[in-house]
Chains A and B, each alone.
Chain A
Amino acid sequence: MTSVLYDAPGPRAKRRNVILSVAFIAVLAAALWWVYLKLDEKNQLDWVKWEPFFTDSRVWTTYILPGLENTLIAAALAMVIALPLGAFFGIARLSDHWGVRWPSGAVVEFFRAIPVLILMLFANAVYAEFTDISSEDRPLYAVITGLVLYNASVLAEIVRAGILALPKGQSEAAMAIGLRKGQTMRYVLLPQSVTAMLPAIVSQLVVIVKDTALGGALLNFSDLMAAVRPMSAFYGANTIASFTVVALIFILVNFALTSFASWLEGRLRRSKKSTGAVLGAEKVDDINAAEVGGSYGTGAGGAL
């Protein structure tokens, strides 16, 4: 165990660690005991309330699986639509021409500054007012629109960061062999940056999956989140049990995505073919709205 903060423990430190561990277990046990008492007092731990999830297949076929399906459909569609949009705005922000760079930067920063929920509510109202999408389909459309608008701008930043993360020599070399700007982008920069930003894109998918739940809570979108209320009403107010199961499913789905992203990141970092530039999963959070940096400055005085 190497850490900046402490050495390998000696006898005294080991003794102290044991004491701390015991104290921590005591605190944790007390907290759990309190939770147990609270749950027991309200009969939330009765087997009747948990039984349906193990014995009654209708819980799954009526409530959970259709909900999960809607959640995944919305997330997948949002991602598929947001990706090309994000790539477009990300590349446009790296343009040489301020007439392209500036408006696309404004669009990206605007949609990143607004909560997804506001975008979803707006989309829902617009669809109700100006289109004849049926009221059953409207929540799905609204959720996807909100997610696309927000995530396209986040993906635009990921694409921009992915291209900027490539070593400068790549575009310099491309220029030296006489490629034009568009060619440099298409043949040299984009293919490499796409692999570099794959982990970041996969971990953005986690954010999208989580945000679909907003539609379930506020737009009558029948997703996994929305399944909680009817489910707990049908099976005798097993609110705690329903929430636990739904939360567990979300954790499983998102944990799988997160693990996949970090596996991908590790694999890409190790591979010898790439330039070694990888935009890690953690990196997404670090792209600051304030860093409205400029274009990809190259040594030759050009920019991409």
Chain B
Amino acid sequence: MFDFLEDYDVLGAFWVTVQLTVYSAIGSLIWGTLLAAMRVSPVPLMRGFGTAYVNVVRNIPLTIIILFTSLGLFQTLGIKLGSEDFTVINFRLAVLGLIAYTSAFVCEALRSGINTVPVGQAEAARAIGLNFRQVLTLVVLPQAFRSVVGPLANVLIALTKNTTVAAAIGVAEAAFLMKEMIENEAQVILIAAIFAFGFVCLTLPTGLILGWVGKKVAVKR
């Protein structure tokens, strides 16, 4: 019953999924933090740019962004992201698309974290004579970071699931392999069960652990 599995590298496909997730998570954390910094900055122009980016990107399907990186950036504009190998190019394009999309959600999660800090905290900090840097590093940001773990965990879970969209441009991750296997093999239910199990293994523990951590560190108000 499980014989046909020997012809396919299921673990390898899930390893690509994990790689996509990790690289995109790091990238979108950096770009998302920059966007969040822009959205709360005192410079109106930066705030405007951050808001516009988030609103535009959040309303475009990820599928379009990923396909655009391949059909638009690579095939039309010839952007190769420093590689000649198609597999590598597609992988990097997918990571680029996932970063562009996910960072909008990271930005929103971080911003909502800053917004949970009551204004009174900052006012009290100023009243005892702390300067801007001290207010930020000693009072506001420590509280903001702690309340942001839960929402960021949700973004990470969504990102893990969203990596399947990379199948649209031929990155050999889990959904791509599943599509291939379904076309060639008869055991549809079994194949689906294997991949469903794989994703449950990836997402549920992340949610449970980070959800627990998030609750543990969150500031009780």
Q: Are A239 and B175 in contact (CB under 8 A)?
A: no
| Cα-based distance from A42 to B79 in the complex (angstroms) | 11
Contact flags (1/0) for B38-70 with A, using CB distance below 8 Å? 001111111001000001101111111001100
Q: Which of B78, B122, B179, B199 contacts A42 (CB 8 A)?
A: B78
Residues of B within 8 A of A286 (CB): 150-151, 154
Q: Which of B43, B154, B161, B162 contacts A21 (CB 8 A)?
A: B43
Q: Which residue of B lies closest to A214 (CB)?
A: B63
Q: State how many angstroms separate the Cβ of A59 from the closest Cβ of chain B.
A: 18
Give the number of A-B contacts (CB < 8 Å).
Answer: 194
B side interface size, CB within 8 A: 78
| Cα-based distance from A38 to B77 in the complex (angstroms) | 7
Given contacts A39-B77, A42-B77, A282-B112, contact A218 B168 (CB under 8 A): yes
Whether a CB of chain B sits under 8 angstroms from the CB of A164 is no
Whether a CB of chain A sits under 8 angstroms from the CB of B196 is yes
Q: Which residue of B lies closest to A206 (CB)?
A: B59
Residues of B within 8 A of A3 (CB): 40, 42
Whether a CB of chain B sits under 8 angstroms from the CB of A176 is no
Taking Cβ atoms with an 8 Å cutoff, the residues of B that contact A are 40-46, 49, 55-56, 58-64, 67-68, 71-72, 75-79, 105, 108-109, 112, 114-115, 117-119, 121-122, 126, 132, 135-136, 140, 150-151, 153-155, 157-158, 161-162, 164-165, 167-168, 174-175, 178-179, 182, 186, 188-189, 191-192, 195-196, 199-200, 203-204, 207-212, 214
Q: Which of B76, B118, B179 contacts A121 (CB 8 A)?
A: B179
In the complex, 15 of the A-B residue pairs with CB atoms within 8 angstroms, ordered by the A residue number, are A3-B40, A17-B43, A20-B46, A28-B49, A121-B178, A125-B192, A212-B61, A213-B63, A214-B63, A217-B63, A228-B71, A229-B71, A285-B105, A285-B154, A290-B208
